[in-house]
Every structure is written in C-alpha cells, then in structure tokens.
Amino acid sequence: MKFPRASGLLLHPTSLPGPYGIGDLGREAFSFVDLLAGSGQRYWQMLPLGPTGYGDSPYQSFSVFAGNTLLISPDELIEDGLATAKDIALSMAFPTGRVDYGAAYEWKGALLQKAFAYFKESGTAELQKEFAEFIDKNGWWLNDYALFRSIKAFQNHRPWYEWPEPLKLREAGAIAEIRDQLADQFEFERFFQFIFFRHCRRLKRYANEKGVYLIGDLPIFVALDSADVWCNRELFKLNADGSPRVVAGVPPDYFSATGQLWGNPIYDWDRLREQGFGWWVARAEFAFRLADIVRIDHFRGFAASWEVPGGDETAENGVWVNVPGRELFETLHRHFGRLPFIAEDLGHITEDVEQLRDHFGFPGMKILQYGFGGDALNRDLPHNYVQNCVAYSGTHDNDTTVGWWRSLDKKDKNGPRAHCIRYLGTNGKDISWDLIRAVWASVADTAIVPVQDILCLDTRSRMNKPATQSGNWSWRLKDGELTNEIGERLRALTELYGRTMPKTVEE
C-alpha cells in the first residue's frame, strides 16, 4: 500500500521513563503520543510486545499472541479499580535510565497478584463482563498460553521440551489433571492478558485520536520454548523429542563473522500450506489488533530461510531453503485486502526477495548509517532511495548515531567517516541531527529515527547489539529528558521537509 509522506520515532514502551522500574502503557506512553502529535509526527514504531524469556529479548517471546504483562501500567490498574495509591507507593527503589528486569518482575508480579485478588473479591460487574467476553473471543490461543505459563511456573520455569513426557506431549489426561491442579494460576494468566490488551486498546485509541499511528513488529520466527511450538509441533521441523532438526539464523554478515545463530525452529511450510496458512492468518489478524502498520522482521525469510543443523554452535553451516512467501501473502491479501506491512529487507538480499517485496508493494528499509564508506551506488544513500521505502538513521540493532560516529576511524581518508563528512557537508559536531536532516529531506515516503538520536545519546544508550547474549534491551529514558525544545526542533525540521502530520488523518 502507498504511505503518505510522513515521519515518526522508534521507541519501545519498556524504554519510557517512570517510577516503576520499566516503561509501560500508562501515563508516560500517553505523554509520548502527545509529544509525537505536537512535533508533527505520524508514527510511533515499537518492538514486539510479547512476553519475554531468557535475555529479555522482545524477539524471543513465549507467545506470538500474548502480551508482555510487564507493560501493564500500575496507574491504569488504579483507574480500573485493581490497585490503590498505597499499593503503588510501596514501589521498590529502581535504577534510573535502565531496566532492571529482575527487580521489575519481582515488584510488578507482586502487584499483579494483589490486583487479581481485588478483581476476584470486588471486581465491577462491567469488568467481569468484559473479561468473560475477552475469554470467549480469545480462548483459541489464550487457554493454551495460560496453561503453558502455569505449567512452566510449576516446572521451575524449565522449557516445555524438558517437562515430564505426558505434559511435553500434551496427553489429554495429563493436561486435564494439571489444569485442575493449577486452576488459580491459569485464571491469573488469563486475567492479566485481558488487562494487557485493555491497556493496549486505550493507548491505541488515544494515539489514533491524536492522528498518530502505531507501527508494530512481527518477527517471522517464534521461540522454541513457546506456547506456539508446544501446541503446534506439527507446524515445525522438530525431532520426536521436541528438539529442532534445523534452526534459524543468518549467514556471516556485517554483525558477525560466524553468522547469527538465532536458534528458532523452522516452519514446516508444506504443512502450513496444507492448512491454508490458517495459523499465519490468525497471527496477522492479531498483529493488526495492536498496530495500524506492521513491520515484518527478517522479511527475506519469506523467500528463503537459512536453515542451520540443530546441533551446530554457529550459523556458518546453514543452507538456504525456499519458502512459499508469495502464496502466503496472497492468502493474507484475500483475507484482509490491503496489507499495511513494512518489509525489513536488510542483510543478504537477493533478487527473489526484492521481487516478493515489490510484487505486493511493501516498502523496504534504508539505513543511513550503512550508506557510508563505499561508492555512490550504495542503496542506503539518500540519492538512491525510492519513494516507497522507510528511511532510518539506524534501528534498534544499530549503535546510536553518536556512538556509531565516535567508533569510526578519523585517520581513514576513504572510510565511512570521511565519506559522511563529504556527503552531508558536515563537521560532525551535530552528527545525529545531520543524519536526521538527511533522512527527513530524502524522497522516502516514511522517515523514522530512534529517540536516542533526537537526544544525541552515545553508545551507552544502545538498545541491542546483535550476536550478543546479555546487556541488551534495558535502555530507558530519564524523567524530563524529552523536552518541549527537542519537540519543537523536530517539528521545524518536519515542516521544512513536508512531513508534518496533516490536521485530518487519512484513512
């Protein structure tokens, strides 16, 4: 589909400021929408919102349908009558500028338990009715997920493929017995999915009323230790014991000399095709509930997947295996009509990937940081952009622009730093805004930059470093860091290059 000329910011909700140890979908999220609208921005791009496991990566979720209950707002719980100001006042002393996931889980978990008790004892009739309706509408995924998380807690958080055989294989008798045994935990898990989506719905409605659209993120693959795989083993290339025959990754690239070994199981696309891609139709429908536009992570995986033998320790020995992406997107088009997708077409991109993207008119991505150090034909330089693309200074996987700039060799007269100076006509003193200006001025219909770049933050504020296992996903804004002056500067640039959000939003 055709996107209007507009712009926006990339910020995951966990990175919002506030007193509760982790950003959430409450007061600060609404304030961020106000800043976007006030600075003329049309888009708020987020990372996946699913529940995270080991490493806290939003790209390794326990379910592609469930939400991350750490994003539930304590203030919104008060609004719902599920917490009191006294409950909230007893919050822990959290660090500023970083997420301490362990502390956040501990404090918010206790708060959610109290809120569940409030609901059972004195929840309003209206809330009870809405909860029942949520279960009725979402039971097809919700019950499996709630049981998965309940058993996982009961099994000391071991992955499902290490559970006792009857539970691992979902034997009917064992499943019925454990569900009865864990009935309270099961209901708790269902209830807080209801609350999560209730808070999401409020935020999305508020953003849309302000003329701001949410861009979600749909990872192509799912985590092995997830309700998705536990309940749908026939849809993945697994061994009889639940271990993966092959796993996902990418070959050696810009980020890693040995490739990236993600470890996600690979789909059995033949089985998915036999079922009319029903699982993917459900997944896409769900993604559109949370967002107006959806970025498809690792889009090239819909043309071919890099399949690595399950026991390998690096991604070097993988092979490309074809995927029926065109059939899938044709099926989605029949179900939904227009498909507001953004294709993350970075990395090893071949002609078949470009043909798949262009056949459906999906905008691809351009990363300005990648544009320097080569020649004038580099696809990431603004003079080579096409209108139907999304241009970024960098993404959550890149260093901040200031961090990137400081890492470049000053002495290399033909390197990226020297090239950038010549191309942008800059001395580098305001490098973040130099790149923002170039992206905003480009012909790209959509321009987006990480919030770290409008704040000119350095490497310490980087969100993720691919091919590393720790120290990621924890950056947060500090209270008051996003000022009106920054918003005004952004609006001035947005107006200058004709990206200002119109007063009436196009549907």
- Residue numbers annotated as active site: 297, 344, 397
Which burial class, exposed, middle or buried, applies to 303 when counting CB atoms under 10 A from its CB (0-12, 13-18, 19+)? buried
Angstrom distance (rounded) from CA 354 to CA 398: 23
C-alpha closest to that of 369 among 390, 345, 398: 398
Angstrom distance (rounded) from CA 101 to CA 104: 5
- CB of 393 within 8 A of CB of 449? yes
Tokens linked to 409:
């060799």
Looking at 123-210, list the stretches that DSSP marks H as alpha helix, in order from N- to C-terminal side: 125-154, 165-168, 172-181, 183-209
- CB of 12 within 8 A of CB of 463? yes
Tokens linked to 267:
């789909």
Paired residues of 293 in beta bridges: 215
Stretch (H or E) spanning 319: strand 319-322
Paired residues of 366 in beta bridges: 391
Tokens linked to 237:
């290339």
- For 84, left (φ over 0), alpha (ψ -120 to 50), or beta? beta
State whether residue 262 is helix, strand or coil.
Answer: strand
Rounded to 5°, the CA angle 447-292-507 comes to: 90
Tokens linked to 291:
């967002």
Angstrom distance (rounded) from CA 250 to CA 261: 7
Tokens linked to 28:
């600060």
- For 200, left (φ over 0), alpha (ψ -120 to 50), or beta? alpha
Task: Tell me how crowded residue 152 is: count the other CB atoms within 10 A of its CB.
Answer: 21
Stretch (H or E) spanning 249: strand 246-250
- CB of 76 within 8 A of CB of 25? yes
